[in-house]
């Protein structure tokens, strides 16, 4: 299952509607997409819109509702929260954007009052190998952080085919996936 875990739509700062971006991902062979618009700029009824779009695409793709939050205690470092039915996947976003060292990342991981499940090893879809190291004890996911159609397909994860979002989330937590790059 080819899965994009970090994308944006025009419900925040993306250029395209959820339907347009999902059709574009589908055309590139993706079976799973997490819509993760920025919390501080989402439009009203954001999650209701994502639910409606998820139902539209339910026979074609697994759509996961999510949000990219600014975590204030870390000077507004971004985290993804991706929702399953009962499970929530939390991912540390694009550490290169904040010029974090591995040591700083370790301090952040230890400082949060919740469990981080994974960390991105990409910046806008481009591989950042300095974070793909064993000293950081989190599964490393590739994402494209797409804000427009031209960003699609630079980085993604591949897993077993899951129809249950909670099983997908558990697999990612357990590191049962591979990160892929264009």
**Predicted pLDDT of residue 76:** 73
Q: Which domain holds residue 24?
A: 2-181
Residue 72 is predicted with a pLDDT of 81
* 76/42 Cα distance (integer angstroms): 16
Query: Which H/E stretch holds residue 126?
Result: strand 126-127
pLDDT at residue 112 in the model: 87
Q: What is the pTM of this model?
A: 0.95
Contact of 26 with 165, CB cutoff 8 Å: no
Provide the pLDDT for residue 126: 95
Read off the CATH number of the domain in which 71 is found.
3.20.20.140
Number of domains in the chain: 1
Tell me the mean pLDDT per 10 residues along the chain, length 182.
98 98 98 97 96 96 97 83 98 92 91 93 95 97 97 97 97 98 94
In this structure, are residues 68 and 92 in contact, taking their beta carbons and an 8 Å threshold? no
Q: Residue 20: its pLDDT value, please?
A: 98
């Amino acid at each position: 299952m080819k899965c994009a875990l970090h994308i944006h739509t025009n419900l925040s700062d993306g250029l395209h509607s959820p339907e347009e971006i999902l059709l574009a991902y589908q055309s590139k062979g993706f079976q799973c997409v997490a819509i993760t618009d920025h919390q501080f700029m989402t439009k009203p009824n954001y999650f209701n819109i994502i639910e409606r779009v998820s139902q539209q695409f339910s026979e074609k793709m697994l759509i996961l509702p999510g949000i990219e939050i600014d975590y204030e205690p870390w000077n507004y470092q971004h985290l993804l929260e991706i929702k399953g039915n009962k499970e929530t996947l939390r991912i540390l976003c694009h550490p290169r954007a904040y010029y974090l060292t591995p040591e700083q990342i370790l301090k952040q991981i230890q400082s949060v009052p919740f469990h981080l499940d994974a960390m991105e090893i990409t910046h806008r879809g481009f591989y950042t190998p300095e974070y793909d190291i064993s000293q950081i004890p989190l599964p490393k996911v590739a994402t494209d952080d797409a804000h427009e159609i031209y960003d699609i397909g630079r980085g993604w994860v591949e897993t077993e085919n899951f129809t249950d979002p909670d099983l997908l989330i558990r697999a990612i937590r357990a590191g049962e996936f591979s990160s892929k790059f264009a």
